[in-house]
Structure 1
């Protein structure tokens, strides 16, 4: 089987979600990586992809139409490539979830979303019921279109490969959408979905100022990414790019600290695969304690500052 991986990249480097997707693709067969972008950054990303262990070939589509990864343009680029590939694998990120369904529709096939493991050439596991059950599914489609949950696969080694890079010419701008702008929050913290340690706060933190006063110092001490429950985001304590959960980001860090989070199903779906979960909540019956490895029943406004001071 020939697998095509859509690369996500930034600043001339591949994102961790792409390396994890390459690992998944190697379990299917020969791996080709498609790098779509514009200018030097795209070229650097293609060179980086060529060095990844397990990659057989890299296709570089360098065009202004792909500079912002507009789904309509990238999907039109991918569809002709599927004539010579059996499967398309995209990271289950905002871009991947935007592009893959369009490709599936154009190919008239059913997509398999949020793949957790590859059990066979056409057999996969994926979460259902907000992650409370894992379904094993088998696709009978002529072409496979998959989105891959990056936290479920190890990252491919970024060195050790020597794949050739081939230039690719696509159809260019489909004229169906245009890029208006992007408001990106710059931070010195690790990316939430790839951080080894995540400190998350919930609605119990009362307001944005309290959230920052309690969560930020602890995250600073642990060099951690900052997450939040949907309730905290909806209340305006922090931006929605920090939301962890079924409708937010899926994380699987080595350590996850949940502060003032009750543990609604929606939130648990996004973090219960963390290796170690520490929950701090004054309610001993909070559902978060059912998945926590370590639970502390205490007032977060005294316990967390005390914990921070002792680190």
Structure 2
């Protein structure tokens, strides 16, 4: 059985949690799991990958070309490795994975299998279509299957317990030299947990009426140790930045508790949060579609209900 190559998502020092979910998906396919860490000064990230349970080998490509993991630079490296005998190339369906793997698939001239939620067999996978209203089973006859994994659909692999060997690999020739360059990064810093990894998420919609009113949700989130999200309508209205957006065109979340405040429940939003374990909806419109997926619903004015809930906590 051919080995599986999993692309590590990292910041050169630590491994991002999304990688652990991709490793679990790889384990369900079957075969030896190798993890690629491409970066600069990324020995610590490679060591963390080596400790992940189920990983047999870590490939470390440490080169200045991969300092910012630009997809144009990393794709030729992945393609070269994939052609060396891997049957599958996997990455989490994050911004990085969705940016990189389609390029890899194009260079390999194979189909791209995106956003899988289940592994049926080594060549067949389930993925949501029509904003999650239907599940398609996709079979790939390609010699190399290029797959992104919806992280919320797979448990995270244990971050400790593995003892994989770390092997250095040479940088690939930069066939995309000059096509792109790293200019700058603007990172949002917050004391709250990351939206896609939070145990509790509090999201606001158009019903919040303004960005200033999101302080009500922030106070509630701080009491619950939660991340703050938003619907597309709230983001498009300029209430909050787009990195808050939960939905089909935003972030996919599946926390233990999801509190939707002033969100009507459009299909686009439901596609990003309906896998949450418990959904609580607060909306003054009792006909709002969000109540159809909510485990608990409160028909009330959010400007009265949210402060009362925060105070009660």
Instruction: Answer whether TM exceeds 0.5 for this pair.
Output: yes
CA contact (8 A) 1:130 1:265 kept: yes
Deviation at 1:236, TM superposition (A): 1.1
CA contact (8 A) 2:12 2:43 kept: no
1:261 aligns with 2:266: no
Secondary structure of 1:27 counterpart: helix
Deviation at 1:14, TM superposition (A): 1.1
Secondary structure of 2:53 counterpart: coil
- Give the match for residue 6 of structure 1: 7
Deviation at 1:137, TM superposition (A): 1.3
Deviation at 1:201, TM superposition (A): 0.2
Q: Identify the match of residue 283 of structure 1 among 282, 285, 288.
A: 285
CA contact (8 A) 1:65 1:172 kept: no
- Give the match for residue 36 of structure 1: 38
- Give the match for residue 77 of structure 1: 77
Residues 139-169 of structure 1 deviation map (CA, whole Å, 9 limit, x = unaligned): 1111100000011100000111110000111
- Give the match for residue 161 of structure 2: 160
- Normalised TM-score (structure 2): 0.97
Q: Identify the match of residue 218 of structure 1 among 217, 220, 224.
A: 220
Deviation at 1:26, TM superposition (A): 1.2
1:113 aligns with 2:114: yes
Deviation at 1:171, TM superposition (A): 2.1
Residues 55-112 of structure 1 deviation map (CA, whole Å, 9 limit, x = unaligned): 0000001111111110011001100101221110011000100000000000000011
Q: Identify the match of residue 190 of structure 1 among 189, 193, 212.
A: 193
Residues 253-296 of structure 1 deviation map (CA, whole Å, 9 limit, x = unaligned): 00000000000000000000000000000000000000000000
The change in CA–CA distance for 1:64 and 1:11 in structure 2 (over 3 A counts) is closer
Root mean square deviation, CA, Å: 0.9
CA contact (8 A) 1:63 1:172 kept: no
Q: Identify the match of residue 202 of structure 1 among 200, 205, 215.
A: 205
Q: Identify the match of residue 293 of structure 1 among 279, 292, 295.
A: 295
Determine the C-alpha separation between the residues in 2 that align with 1:252 and 1:18. 16
Determine the C-alpha separation between the residues in 2 that align with 1:18 and 1:43. 16
CA contact (8 A) 2:48 2:159 kept: yes
Secondary structure of 2:121 counterpart: coil
- Runs of 4+ aligned structure 1 residues displaced above 6 Å come to none
Determine the C-alpha separation between the residues in 1 that align with 2:23 and 2:70. 22
